[in-house]
Structures are given as C-alpha cells and as structure tokens.
Amino acid sequence: QAKLKGSGKDPYPDWKAGAPVPYAALCTTFSLVEMTRKRLEITDHCSLFLRQVLRLTPADFLPTVQLMINKLAADYAGIELGIGESLIMKAIGECTGRSLAVIKADQREIGDLGLVAAKSRSNQPTMFKPKPLTVRGVHEGLLGIAKVQGHGSQDKKISGIKKLLAAADADTVGKGVDITENKGGPSEAKFIVRFLEGKLRLGLAEKTVLVAVSRAVQTHEAESAGNKIPSAEQMVEGENIFKTVYSELPAYEVIIPAVLEHGLLKLPEVCKLSPGIPIKPMLAKPTKSITEVLDRFEGKEFTCEYKYDGERAQIHFVSPDSIHQYPGALDTLQKDSKGLSSIFSRNSEDLSKKYPDVLGKLDTWVKPDVKSFVLDCETVAWDVEAKKVLPFQQLMTRKRKDVKAEDVKVKVCVYAFDLLFFNGEPCVKKSLRERRELMHECFQPVEGEFQFAQYGNSNVLDEIQELLEASVKASCEGLMVKMLDTAESGYEPSKRSRNWLKVKKDYLAGVGDSLDLVVLGAYYGRGKRTSVYGAFLLAAYNPSSDTYETICNIGTGFSEVLLEELHQTLVPLVIDRPKPFYTHSTVPKDQPDVWFEPRLVWEVKTADLTLSPRYQAAADEFQGTTDAGKGVSLRFPRYIKSRDDKKPDEATTTRAVAEMYRKQEAVTKDTTSKGGVD
Ligand code: ATP
C-alpha cells in the first residue's frame, strides 16, 4: 500500500520504526482515495495506512488522523484555518516566483488551487534539495498558521504557507515529473493547499476515517498480541465501540492516546462523556403535522416540550471540590472561585465569553451536593420588565466576545431540557423520564434566569394542539415531541433521531421545515439597491459528492441595513469563478454577477418546492425519470436569519431537499385525490 503505483521499490526508505511519518506517504493514501468513490475501498486505503503508522510510528498516529479529517484539533478548541483564495495565491506566487496574474490565469483554467500549486511547484528546479515534509511537521506548520493573530497576521500566514510549500514534493521538484494529474505520484502541495482551503475534496467523510481508525487499531492490537486478524463481525463490534465512545467524547486528542495506552476494549471505561468536552447534540426530525407525530409514537409514552427560540447551550460545570476528579481536558473550562464552567454551542464552539452573566450564576441554580453536571439548554432573550421571553432577533444583538457580565444589555433566561452528566456519571443511557426527574430534583428554577422547559405529557390530538397553541402564545417556535420511556428515549449524541420530533407552528401551513442554505453567489442590486447586492444564489449540500448544488435565488426578507452589512461581509469572499464543486445551470443567463467562497449559511423559508432546470439541488435523484436534468428549487423563498452556528457542510442536504419535495408531492396527490384538505 505504501508503494507508489507502478514502482517496485519502497518509496519511503527512511520511514523506519520510530522515524516520523513522511507526509508524502499520507498523500499517496489521499491519491488512492481520490481515485475511487467506493466507500469500502476508501476505508481500506485509510485503515491500511493507519496500520502502518501504528506499526512504525504510533507517536504520529494522532496528527495523521487529524490531517485525514481535515481538522487540526477538536471543534471546541476553536482552531480554524479557512484561508481565502487570494492569500493562498499570493503565497504560491511568492514561493515559486510566478506572477499573481499567471497563477490567477491557471486557477481560471484549472479551477482547483491545489492543482495550481502542484503545477507551479513541479516546474521549479531548486538549488538546494529541501528536507522532506513529515506529517508531524505539516500538522505543526498548519497549526502555527491557524493560530497567528493580530497585527501583521496576513504576512505571517503567507510566510507560514510559503515555508510548507517550499518543502513540498521534495522528491519530484525539478525532475520534470508531472504531478498535476496523479501521473508521477501524489502532490504534497496540492493537499497542503486544499487543507488550507478547508476541504480535501476526496470524498473522505469523517465517519469513514472513524471506521478506518477503529479497524487499524483492532488489527494492530491483534497482530501485536500474536492473535488472528479479527473477523468481520468482531470488526463491526469494535467499530460500534469506537463510534459510541466518539459520540460521547468527540475528541481524538483524548481518545487516541487512551486507546494506545489501554486498548480498544477498555476504551468505554476510560473515555466517557466528561465536563469540558462538548458532546455533539442530539437533533430532531421535522414533521408536518401532529397526526404524523401520533402515527410515529403510537402506543408509546411521549412528552411535548415547548420549543424555545434562542440558541442551543450546553452548560458544563465542576464544583471546586471535585476538580481533582477530572484531570486533563479541562483547559476548556473557565476557572473561578465557584469552580469550573463553560457553555458550548450546537457546533461545539466555546460561548463562555458571550455568556459570562450565565456562568456567574450557575451555583445559584443547583441544590446542595451538586458536584458536576452537563445540561442541554436553550438560552432565550428575556424581557426583564414584562417578564417574558423575547424573539430570537433580540438575542442576536448580544455581543459575541469579551462581554462583561455587568455590561450585558440583553438579559437571557436559560431553559434546561436535558441532563447529560451528573455528579461524576454520564446519564445519556437513562430514559428521558429518569433524566428529567433527576434534573427537577437537583436544580432549582430562578425567575428570568433559569427554568425547566415547559412540557405536557399527552397523546390526545386536541390536547397536543392546545399545547402547540400555548407554546406559540409564549413566543416559542412550537413543540419538541420526545419519546419518554424505554431504551429508545436515551440521549443519542450527534444523531438526528426519530425519537425527537419537532412540530413548528408554521408547519401547519406550507412546507414543513425551513432550510439552511449556503450563499454561493450574488446579483448586483437595482434601483435603491445599486451599491449593494440585491439578490443571492443559494445552494444545498450533497455530502456524498461533497458538492454544493444550487436551489434558488433569494431577494426577499432583507432590510436595507442588512443588505449593507451583507455586502461588507461578502466582498472579501468574492472569487473569480465558481469552485469546481459548485453545481449550477451552465446557461449564461442563469449565472450570478459574482461568486463567493462557501462560508455563509442562511435559514430560509419557502412557500413550496418545485423542479426547475435552472437549479441543480438533488438533480441526481431524478435522473432516468421524465424530470432528468432538473433540480429541486424553492418558490418564493424568504430570508429568516443567518446561521452562524452552522458550517457550510452542515447545511440542509440535497437528500433532505428531495425528501421534502417528495413529501409535498405525496400530500398534493393525496389531497387532490380526496378532493381537498378538510
Ligand atoms: P436542527 O438542530 O434540528 O438541525 P435547527 O438548528 O434549524 O435544526 P430547529 O429546527 O429550530 O433548529 O430545532 C432544533 C433546536 O431547537 C435545537 O437544536 C435547540 O436549540 C432548540 N430547542 C428549543 N427548545 C428545545 C427543547 N425543548 N428540546 C430540544 N431542543 C430545543
């Protein structure tokens, strides 16, 4: 596997036991992955390589995995590269002596900055042979680039990138080898650049890497113990252990050292949900009506909670006298005389600097003897005078960073709806009824500061309808309906589960859920809007091909002030031409005036969905039908809000879009055949 295609020799003679993993070896694996779309083959390539790393250089296992998943650290560490095209082009130019104009022309022609870098590199003979890159070296180099801040940071980032590029492809430089098309081996420059851009574009999903890691570990453990290679069933068991552990503790920084020290079977004992490391939140499935909820939960006990319209907040706390129980991994928590605490977003981003007022009061919400907890909550803007919740928009006016508790203007009330960890033990496996009882027993509400989510346990349609109306009167978005008893009601981290259903007030008319879409392009405004963008091109995300597929143009729902702001935010994201992973109509009149890097995610509502050749969302789902070539598109889309808590690859998927379209079609057909809705 480590050998380059076609050559009989060991391409990495220096990679001996204990020696650093050559970055070129990782890039060879990337190239093999790039050449196939088959999930099993991709997993095999990765796990074989990871096995080799475990055999020879286990100390480099962690950075290797991190480079594979295109992340330098776990999400909560807040380390992001996200470097724009223009900065990278500048670095490539300065590093290779090619002019910016030539690089831009190449980019226009090739459309992949990674390949442009590879091409620039392979043409450059150098006087001194640079030292080959190592996985650890590249990881450290990229981390350095990500951490640069403040004055002169752009120049420092460029110099960091140049350093890496200068050493890239040490073995092929100046030999006239064409590495742009995988002909003469992989290109390190290509993958470095793609990493900097935030996407390796190999079709290598994080879940696949997780499976590959678990297989490599299992096989290596068996080999080292002189045992037989695990059977297929044992492999799957091992994968399940790994997946469960990772969903409760999504941090390779913690799991990998633990698995190397204790072995896979011990992992669930030593790596548990723990304060300081945010768990990936459980998510809900959308539903179209209360009757759909009743169908799903027929014969089961369930509960309807108010769905508060604020920001998801996972609150972690450890009391001063319990800190010694949680060694390591607690750097993420803020320390003061009351103990350790932090608030994490839906995206595992640390929100502690946004909510010092909340953190300052945690100790007043708990009854005596509470030593540690993780609560799943929603923070909602609170009207102190009228003593009621305020709309989401108010919450958005709060500053995000360096907030001082005494300066906070928009007060928030925290509504707790789940307890995930309590006094040293995870409680995710308990039923929701048990978790809720424990939460109500051990915490005490404080008006305007901390409340339990309002709920009613009913399975009668009329009563649920009443609860829904009451929730709307209380400024909520609708209901969250949750399985209450049985094993199915356990907390399922990171899963969009059928055991949690959301019923939004506006479902009852129009399309079920709103969509979260990525901004790919814009059109210059006319009339009053001439100095700003007047409309935008949006797309859904297709995780299987890693592409953004266009779905609509949107120009409704924006105030003049917002358009000004959006213009300022979007101008720095302008790129010369659409990225190769954007899928849109090729008809000239359908093209936007400008294209952007895929960064912003907006929540959008629509009247209904239709098929159109102009957009390409989920078009592959209609291939071979009379609608071939058409994608799903939104009719009368309206901007609701920006989803700063979602990354572009967390946007609504094209599969979900196709599902929405089909559901709508089924309903239309159903109601027409019955002669209308009653
Ligand atoms: P999703 O989180 O399902 O991707 P989303 O982020 O667009 O969707 P919604 O569809 O509005 O959010 O619904 C889920 C969100 O509702 C949760 O992530 C949480 O922030 C919020 N929420 C409010 N009240 C509750 C509650 N009682 N139980 C669970 N979540 C709640």
pLDDT in tens, 5-43: 444 567 788 899 999 999 999 999 999 998 888 889 999
Distance from Cα 283 to the centre of ligand 1, integer Å:
7
Maximum C-alpha span of the chain:
81
Q: Angle between the 188-197 and 153-167 helix axes, to the nearest 10 degrees?
A: 150
pLDDT at 677: 29
Residue 356 has pLDDT above 70, yes or no: yes
Distance 346 CA to ligand 1 centre (A): 9
Among protein residues, the one whose CA lies closest to atom 1 of ligand 1: 283
pTM exceeds 0.95, yes or no:
no
Given the CA of residue 500, which atom of ligand 1 is nearest to it? 29
Which of 480, 482, 495, 641 has the most ligand 1 atoms within 8 A of CB, as the residue to mutate?
480
Most confident of 338-342, 345-349, 674-678: 345-349
Q: How far is CA 179 from the centre of its chain?
A: 31
* pLDDT > 80? residue 348: yes
**Nearest-angstrom CA–CA distance, 15 and 27:** 14
Beta strands in 543-637, from DSSP E residues, in sequence order: 547-554, 574-575, 582-583, 594-596, 601-605, 608-612, 631-635
Count of all residues that appear for the chain in the document:
678
If one residue of 280, 308, 505, 642 were mutated to test the ligand 1 pocket, choosing by the most ligand atoms within 8 A of its CB, it would be: 308
Which atom of ligand 1 is nearest the CA belonging to 311?
20
| Residue 488, pLDDT above cutoff 70 | yes
- What separation in Å is there between the alpha carbon of 599 and the centre of ligand 1? 22
CA distance 572 to 84: 9
pLDDT of 174 > 60? The answer is no
Q: Which of 285, 287, 305, 307 to mutate to test the pocket of ligand 1 (most atoms within 8 A of CB)?
A: 307
Give me the phi and psi of 366, to 5 degrees please.
Answer: -105, 150
The span from the CA of 168 to the CA of 138, in Å, is 10
Does the structure show a pLDDT above 90 at 605?
no
Mean pLDDT of 255-283: 94
Q: Is 81 exposed, middle or buried (0-12, 13-18, 19+ CB in 10 A)?
A: middle
Residue 575 carries which side chain, given as an amino acid letter?
Answer: I
Specify the residue with its C-alpha closest to ligand 1, atom 26.
Answer: 307
Reply yes or no on whether 307 is catalytic.
yes
The helix, strand and coil proportions of the chain, stated in percent and rounded to the nearest 5, come to: 40, 20, 40
Integer CA distances (angstroms), 509 to 274, 408, 461, 523, in order: 42, 38, 18, 31
Residue 456 Cα to ligand 1 midpoint, Å, equals 18
Mean pLDDT for 608-625 is 92
Comparing 8-17, 494-503, 552-561, 616-625, the range with the smallest average pLDDT is: 8-17
Q: What is the pLDDT of residues 243-257, one digit of tens each?
A: 999 999 999 999 999
The model's pLDDT over 87-127, given as tens digits with 9 standing for 90+, comes to 999 999 988 888 999 999 988 888 888 888 887 765 555 66
| Of 524, 629, 624, nearest in space to 587 by CA | 629
What is residue 508's predicted lDDT score, i.e. its pLDDT? 52
Cα gap 567→118, rounded to integer Å: 33
For the segment 438-443, the average pLDDT, to the nearest whole number, is 97
How remote is the C-alpha of 539 from its chain's centroid?
Answer: 16
Tell me, what's the pLDDT at 253?
A: 93
**How far is residue 66's CA from residue 255's CA, in Å, rounded to a whole number?**
12
What pLDDT sits at residue 504? 85
Mean pLDDT, the chain, rounded, equals 88
Of residues 116 and 331, which shows the higher confidence score?
116
Q: By CB neighbour count within 10 A (0-12 exposed, 13-18 middle, 19+ buried), where does 657 fall?
A: buried
DSSP codes of every residue in 497-525: EEEEEEEEGGGGSS-SS-EEEEEEEEEE-
More confident residue, 92 or 677: 92
Banded model confidence at residue 670, pLDDT cuts 50, 70, 90: very low
Q: Which has more confidence, 618 or 300?
A: 618
Question: What φ, ψ does residue 249 adopt, rounded to 5°?
Answer: -140, 75
Residue 283 Cα: closest atom of ligand 1: 3
Q: What distance in angstroms lies between residue 244's CA and the mean position of ligand 1's atoms?
A: 22
Which residue, among 60, 38, 35, 39, has the nearest Cα to 50 in the 3D structure? Answer: 60
Per-residue CA distances from 624 to 42, 345, 380, 630 (Å): 28, 42, 47, 11
User: What's the pLDDT at 327?
Assistant: 64
Judge whether 166 and 173 are in contact, CB under 8 Å: no
**What is the atom index within ligand 1 of the atom nearest the CA of 645?**
6
* Ligand 1 atom closest to residue 455's alpha carbon, by position in its atom list: 27
Amino acid identity, residue 542? N
Expressed in angstroms and rounded, the spacing between residue 284 Cα and the centre of ligand 1 is: 7
* Residue 178 identity (one-letter amino acid): D
Q: Which token pair is 637?
A: 């889309």
In the chain, count H helices and then E strands: 21, 23
Mean pLDDT of the region 376-395 = 92
Q: Which residues of 465-483 are buried (b: 16+ CB within 10 A; e: fewer)?
A: eebbeebbeebbbbbbbbb
| Shortest-distance atom of ligand 1 to CA 646 | 6
Query: What residue's CA is closest to ligand 1, atom 4?
Result: 283
The atom number, within ligand 1, closest to the CA of 284 reads 3
Report how far ligand 1's centroid is from the alpha carbon of 307 (Å).
7
Q: Which atom of ligand 1 is nearest to the CA of 513?
A: 10
Secondary structure of 357-402 in the HEC alphabet?
A: HHHCCHHHHECCCCCEEEEEEEEEEEECCCCEECCHHHHHCCCCCC
pLDDT of residue 668: 52
Q: Once rounded to an integer, what is the mean pLDDT over residues 373-401?
A: 90
Least confident of 321-335, 435-449, 487-501: 321-335
Q: Within its chain, how far is the Cα of 380 from the centroid?
A: 23
Rg (CA), the chain: 26
Cα distance between residue 551 and residue 104, in whole Å: 28
Instruction: Name the residue among 378, 305, 308 with its Cα closest to residue 345.
Output: 378
Q: In this model, does residue 236 exceed pLDDT 90?
A: yes
Question: What is the whole-number distance in angstroms between the Cα of residue 423 and the centre of ligand 1?
Answer: 26
What is the whole-number distance in angstroms between the Cα of residue 304 and the centre of ligand 1?
A: 13
Residue from 307, 482, 605, 630 carrying the catalytic annotation: 307
Of all protein residues, whose CA lies closest to atom 31 belonging to ligand 1? 307
**pLDDT tens profile 441-460:** 999 999 999 999 999 998 88
CA of 500 to the centre of ligand 1 (A): 10
Separation between Cα atoms, residue 31 and residue 26, nearest integer Å: 9
**Which residues does a 6 A CB cutoff place in the pocket of ligand 1?**
283-284, 305, 307-308, 312, 346, 378, 417, 453, 480, 502
- Give percent of the chain with pLDDT exceeding 90: 60
Q: Which residue has the tokens 């960073």?
A: 401
- How far apart, in Å, do the first and last CA atoms of the chain sit? 64
Query: What's the pLDDT score for residue 530?
Result: 78
Provide the pLDDT confidence category of residue 4 given band limits of 50, 70 and 90: very low
Question: Does position 576 have pLDDT exceeding 80, yes or no?
Answer: yes
Distance CA 662, CA 656 (A): 10
Query: Residue 355 in 3-state DSSP?
Result: coil
